[in-house]
Amino acid sequence: MSQFIDARTSQNASLANSIAIPILVVDTPQLFGQIGLITTDTIGANPRVQFTGTVTLQLPLALVGVTITVVRGTLSTDPVIYSATSTFSLSVLAPQVITFSASDFNPPITPQLTYTAFISSNLLGTIRVGPENFDGALYSD
């Protein structure tokens, strides 16, 4: 039977259009969420972390690719556990909501597991407008 260990939320922006953070450097990861999950001495076999997240963007009127990356650690160069790219067409005018779900099976057990979510765009003019969140929960057998 699964055992719940810990859960955390990184809530950067709760409401639509509550922020206006431009992505200023092409193809360079920009942090939008970070969580630290505390492990216990009683953690069982098969630890796993499940994630969800949301980022909302106003896109330029051009073909644009947006990449979400989740790493185990704090730097964009740390081990990647999830990455996905969405490409949006020229006709997209309204803010676009990107949601994702990911998991990390059998992470190395340390006193705290830190995960960081990044976003990047292949075109200038992409603006993070909110809402934004990044959640994670740690379970074991």
Q: What is the pLDDT of residues 97-132, one digit of tens each?
A: 999 999 999 999 999 999 999 999 999 999 999 999
Provide the CA 106 distance to its chain's centre, in angstroms.
19
Closest by alpha carbon to 61, among 104, 92, 100? 92
**Residues 116 and 33: beta-carbon distance below 8 Å:** yes
Q: Which fold has domain 3-140?
A: Jelly Rolls (2.60.120)
**What is the C-alpha to C-alpha distance for residues 81 and 85, in angstroms, rounded to an integer?**
14
pLDDT of residue 1: 79
**What is the C-alpha to C-alpha distance for residues 58 and 38, in angstroms, rounded to an integer?**
35
Residue 42 has pLDDT above 90, yes or no: no
Q: What is the pLDDT of residues 62-100, one digit of tens each?
A: 889 999 999 999 999 999 999 999 998 777 788 999 999
Q: Within 10 Å of residue 15's Cβ, how many Cβ atoms?
A: 10
Residue 53: exposure state from Cβ atoms within 10 A (0-12, 13-18, ≥19)? buried
